């Protein structure tokens, strides 16, 4: 459910405003109402600083160092750590560029071997010669060049050929080859420089690792302080100045369940405040509060959007369906056992922030066991086959393929009708009872069609109720429109019945995914059994293929079993329930921990 909010307005003297904001932050229940989308200069500066520190934090966190190997140090604060890391990053990038340039030089020098550039220079000066270092593709090297010039081939390194031409000073050398610059350093000197640069890079990385091991807590503390300063600057920017800037006006929202804490604070500080119920145009924030079971599915609903403040929270209504759909799609009792046991064992060691996710996996595993049993599948084995006759009366509750197909459609029809019922409730809650008549009309029509076309009772009562539903839609599709406008819109609404049939057919995916996973499991079992015929290593191959194959099938099936129920929830169910969404999350102005 969406927690009801109260809208508060506070009038505070400017000299007391700092203490007031500190106290409000300490209470930590007020969601401040923004007044403009343009941040203040201070908030913008804090936002940029927060981004910079966050990037440094992420960079250091990626470094695989163990903090327990080095004592935590408090000699630097977080901002000093950031400045040091930025300097080290710049130095590291410069050294890496030098190394890349040097490696290119070494690549050019390696074919020429080890020689002294000083000897080459002396030869050119004292003997009056020009040495031309040339390279060309080996297939383009012409033997007649050796007759025309004093030429020495140094190395053939396919596809290139490296050679030197000795010519007198000023003598032109007309050879179609690439002339390389005279080397300034010998190969050993270049290799020595490379070793020095690599050691420098290793030393810089060592300093960065030291920062990650010793100063990470200081960095997180500064990040928290910057986040608090940014939020404070934003709140100050949302404050209206009244009475020649002597009175500060701040507005915000507080959950009704927590307003007593804020009222006690205001009475203690003698703050003037006014509380009222918010209107939809105030755009109150949304805080969800559900029971322990439904709250597990809140992260799934937030993947799409939060409900608007005025409408129903659909989380507790889609949660049982999502659980059933997941179990139907995975549809293997053996896989369900793996999920349930794995989640149960891991839950003891799971971090508190992900424990709810692990609990959700437990529920999904339980649903898979139930639906896998109903469809008669256990690790790819078909429990409806004669070899499992020993299951006795239990097999009476199992569905064959045709029955599973029909069951998927029944589930789809139930969820569509349930969604329309919720739309009627939602419209009544937001706009009034007359806006609930259109979805009620659709419920009447769809139930009548089920009675006539599926149950084939075709009683006169069903026909009359169908026409009653048509009349309701024609007359009450838009209660605020004129009669002619309603009739026109009603015809268009009735054309939309094709959309309901399309929605219903979408639920076939439940059956299709379940049957495809079962078939893959059967194939894995069949291929694994054939491995038993391999001499000596047959049993090993059998176990290996069985484990790896079913593990891969489980992972793929889990992905599909999550995505497709998600699609049915956000498209078919949300649409028929009239979900609008667009709510903004409740984010109280509070101290960071």
How high is the pLDDT of residue 66? 64
pLDDT band at 318 (very low <50, low <70, confident <90, very high): very high
Owner of token pair 């000093």: 80
**Residue 373 included in any domain:** yes
pLDDT band at 461 (very low <50, low <70, confident <90, very high): low
Mean pLDDT over each residue of the chain, to the nearest integer: 84
Q: Is the pTM of this model over 0.95?
A: no
Vertex 32 angle, CA 29 and 37, to 5° = 155
How high is the pLDDT of residue 537? 86
Query: Where are the extended beta strands (E) located within 196-288?
Result: 240-242, 247-255, 272-276
pLDDT (tens digit, 9 = 90+) per residue, 158-174? 888 888 888 888 788 88
**Residue 178 included in any domain:** yes
**Residue 273 included in any domain:** yes
Last residue of a domain, one of 263, 287, 311: 287
How high is the pLDDT of residue 459? 59
**Nearest partner of 381 among 336, 330, 332, 339, judged by Cα:** 332
Between the ranges 62-76, 129-143, 465-479, where is the mean pLDDT highest? 129-143
For residues 581 and 308, is the Cβ–Cβ distance under 8 A?
Answer: yes
- 21: domain CATH number is 3.30.70.120
How high is the pLDDT of residue 203? 92
- 417 and 516 fall within a common domain: yes
**Residue 403 included in any domain:** yes
**Residue 7 included in any domain:** yes
**Range of weakest confidence among 187-191, 356-360, 410-414, 458-462:** 458-462
pLDDT band at 73 (very low <50, low <70, confident <90, very high): low
Total number of residues shown for the chain = 593
What are φ and ψ of residue 4, in 5° steps?
-60, 140
Token digits for 77?
A: 């604060």
- 450 and 572 fall within a common domain: yes
- 80 and 140 fall within a common domain: no
Express as a percent the part of the chain with pLDDT over 70: 95
Q: Which residues pair with 250 in a beta bridge?
A: 10
pLDDT band at 453 (very low <50, low <70, confident <90, very high): low
Structural domains counted in the chain = 4
- 388 and 435 fall within a common domain: yes
Residue 458, pLDDT above cutoff 60: no
pLDDT (tens digit, 9 = 90+) per residue, 494-505? 777 777 888 888
- 265 and 301 fall within a common domain: no
Last residue of a domain, one of 237, 253, 271: 237
- 92 and 121 fall within a common domain: no
Q: How far is the C-alpha of 516 from the C-alpha of 537, rounded, in Å? A: 30
**Residue 586 included in any domain:** no
**Residue 129 included in any domain:** yes
- 334 and 361 fall within a common domain: yes
- 94 and 122 fall within a common domain: no
- 380 and 406 fall within a common domain: yes
How high is the pLDDT of residue 181? 77
Q: Taking each helix axis as running N to C, give the angle between helix 216-237 and helix 17-27, from 0 to 180 degrees, rounded to the nearest 10.
A: 120
Q: What is the domain extent for residue 545?
A: 294-576
- 320 and 233 fall within a common domain: no
Which DSSP symbol is given to 168? Answer: E
- 171 and 64 fall within a common domain: no
How high is the pLDDT of residue 296? 93
pLDDT (tens digit, 9 = 90+) per residue, 101-133? 888 888 877 777 777 777 777 777 777 787 888
Integer CA distances (angstroms), 8 to 4, 89, 235, in order? 13, 48, 14
How high is the pLDDT of residue 91? 92
pLDDT band at 74 (very low <50, low <70, confident <90, very high): low
- 340 and 486 fall within a common domain: yes
**Residue 525 included in any domain:** yes
């Amino acid at each position: 459910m969406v927690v009801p909010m109260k809208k508060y307005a506070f009038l505070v003297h400017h000299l007391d405003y700092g203490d007031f904001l500190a106290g409000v932050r300490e209470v930590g229940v007020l969601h401040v109402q923004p007044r403009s989308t343009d941040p203040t200069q201070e908030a913008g500066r804090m936002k940029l600083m927060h981004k910079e520190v966050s990037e440094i934090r992420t960079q250091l966190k990626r470094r695989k160092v163990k903090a327990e190997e080095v004592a935590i140090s408090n000699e630097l604060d977080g901002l000093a750590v950031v400045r040091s890391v930025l300097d080290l990053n710049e130095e590291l990038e410069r050294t890496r560029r030098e190394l890349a340039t040097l490696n290119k030089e070494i690549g050019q020098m390696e074919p020429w071997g080890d020689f002294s550039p000083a000897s080459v220079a002396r030869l050119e000066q004292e003997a009056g010669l020009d040495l031309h270092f040339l390279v060309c593709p080996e297939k383009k090297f012409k033997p007649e060049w050796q007759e025309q010039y004093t030429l020495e081939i140094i190395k053939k390194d396919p596809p290139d050929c490296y050679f030197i031409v000795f010519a007198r000073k000023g003598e032109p050398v007309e050879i179609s080859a690439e002339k390389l610059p005279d080397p300034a350093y010998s190969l050993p000197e270049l290799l020595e420089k490379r070793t020095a640069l690599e050691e420098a890079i290793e030393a810089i990385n060592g300093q960065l690792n030291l920062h990650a091991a010793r100063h990470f807590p200081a960095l997180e503390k500064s990040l928290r302080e910057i986040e608090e300063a940014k939020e404070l600057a934003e709140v100050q920017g949302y404050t209206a100045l009244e009475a020649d800037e002597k009175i500060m006006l701040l507005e915000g929202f507080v959950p009704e369940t927590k307003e007593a804490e804020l009222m006690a604070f205001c009475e203690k500080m003698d703050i003037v405040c006014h509380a009222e119920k918010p209107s939809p145009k105030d755009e109150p924030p949304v805080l969800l509060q559900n029971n322990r079971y439904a709250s597990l599915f809140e992260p799934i609903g937030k993947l799409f959007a939060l409900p608007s403040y005025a409408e129903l929270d659909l989380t507790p209504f889609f949660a049982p369906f999502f659980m059933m759909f997941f179990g139907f799609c995975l549809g293997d009792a053996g896989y369900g056992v793996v999920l349930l046991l794995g989640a149960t064992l891991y839950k003891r060691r799971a971090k508190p922030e992900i424990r709810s996710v692990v609990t959700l996996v437990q529920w999904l595993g339980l649903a898979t066991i139930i639906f896998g049993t109903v469809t008669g599948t256990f690790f790819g084995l078909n429990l409806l086959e004669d070899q499992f006759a020993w299951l006795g009366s239990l097999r009476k509750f199992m569905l064959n393929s045709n029955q599973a197909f029909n069951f998927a459609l029944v589930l789809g029809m139930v969820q569509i009708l349930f969604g329309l019922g919720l739309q009627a409730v939602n419209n009544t809650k937001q706009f009034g009872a007359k806006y609930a008549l259109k979805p009620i009309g659709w419920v009447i029509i769809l139930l009548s069609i089920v009675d006539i076309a599926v149950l084939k009772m075709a009683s006169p009562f069903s026909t009359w109720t169908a026409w009653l539903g048509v009349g309701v839609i024609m007359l009450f599709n838009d209660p605020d429109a004129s009669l002619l406008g309603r009739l026109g819109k009603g015809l268009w609404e009735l054309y939309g019945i094709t959309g309901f049939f399309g929605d219903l057919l979408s639920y076939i995916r439940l059956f299709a995914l379940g049957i495809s996973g079962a078939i893959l499991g059967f194939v894995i079992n069949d291929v694994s059994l054939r491995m038993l015929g391999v001499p000596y290593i047959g049993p090993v191959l059998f176990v290996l293929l069985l484990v790896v194959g079913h593990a891969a099938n489980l992972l793929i099936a889990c992905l599909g079993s999550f995505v497709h129920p998600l699609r049915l929830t956000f498209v078919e169910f949300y649409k028929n329930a009239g979900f609008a969404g667009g709510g903004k999350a409740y984010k109280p102005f509070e101290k960071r921990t």
